[in-house]
Amino acid sequence: MLIVEDDAVVRAGLTMLVNAEDDLEAVGEARSAREAIFEARSTKPDVVLMDVMMSDQSGIPAVPQVLEERPEAKVLVLSMQDDPRDVREAFEAGARGYLLKEGADAELVAAIREVVGGGRYVHPELGARLVAAETAERRRADEDPLSDREREVLRLLAFGHTNQEIAKELYISVRTAESHRAHIMQKLRLSSRAGLVRYALAHGLLEDS
């Protein structure tokens, strides 16, 4: 297992948890997304535990980069955020599990075994909230085809932000920002930024800014 965490104390604690199991081993550590890519190439881990908030970039955009180096790896995202949208983005990026830092010591081993076995892992309470959020979005789709994250992206696009700026603002990859933009254009059947601005104005997305 490769442990990617910029806090040395937390990283050491996670390494101890993993190495305490007879059938698990921490084969490498990384302090940043850049180091994670290098370590994934050199250590060839079966599992990568990826912290979300690191000094050089968010861990979620780094997930596809790590998987490019080690496609066989199962990525577990470690985060302080319990927003269902973050869980969804992690899975869209290629992660197989999402752990909250506050419960990592109790859940880590179970999460590793789940993803190694081919499953996905989310804390039950957070998973239930994710399902509830997705159900609410489906019900709302008849009136408003855009998801909450797509509305955020649309709002930033309407204010003239580039895909790179949107990615930085929302802690997502540029590829994900581009994908959101394409989905927005398709759902709204628009072909220009001017059309996006008109839609945003008509639906009150530029108010209180």
Rounded average pLDDT over 40-64: 88
As a CATH number, domain 148-202 is: 1.10.10.10
Where are the domain boundaries for CATH 1.10.10.10 in the chain?
A: 148-202
Q: What is the pLDDT of residues 64-115, one digit of tens each?
A: 999 999 999 999 999 888 888 888 889 999 999 999 888 788 889 999 999 9
Q: What is the pLDDT of residues 178-188, one digit of tens each?
A: 999 999 999 88
Rounded average pLDDT over 125-148: 69
Q: Label residue 134 by pLDDT band (50, 70, 90).
A: low
Where are the domain boundaries for CATH 3.40.50.2300 in the chain?
A: 2-131
Residue 208 has pLDDT above 70, yes or no: no
Q: What is the pLDDT of residues 29-43, one digit of tens each?
A: 999 988 999 999 999
State the sign of the Cα–Cα–Cα–Cα dihedral 84, 85, 91, 96: negative
Residue 143 has pLDDT above 90, yes or no: no
Question: What are the φ/ψ torsions at residue 58 (nearest 5 degrees)?
Answer: -70, 145
**Longest C-alpha distance within the chain, in Å?**
60
So what's the pLDDT on residue 52? Answer: 87
As a CATH number, domain 2-131 is: 3.40.50.2300
On average, the pLDDT of the chain sits at 88
CA atoms of 199 and 188, how far apart (whole Å) = 9
So what's the pLDDT on residue 4? Answer: 95
Strand spans (E) along the chain: 2-4, 28-30, 47-51, 74-79, 97-100, 121-122
Residue 11 has pLDDT above 90, yes or no: yes
Rounded average pLDDT over 152-175: 93
Higher pLDDT, 193 or 156: 156
- Structure-token pair, residue 90: 């992690």
Residue 199 has pLDDT above 60, yes or no: yes
CA atoms of 200 and 207, how far apart (whole Å) = 9
Give whole-number Cα distances, 79 to 8, 51, 89, 101, 118, in Å: 16, 6, 12, 6, 21
So what's the pLDDT on residue 202? Answer: 85
- Can you give the pTM of this predicted structure? 0.63
**By the 8 A CB rule, do 164 and 174 touch?**
yes
Q: Give strand pairing partners of 50.
A: 4, 77
- Structure-token pair, residue 35: 């180091």
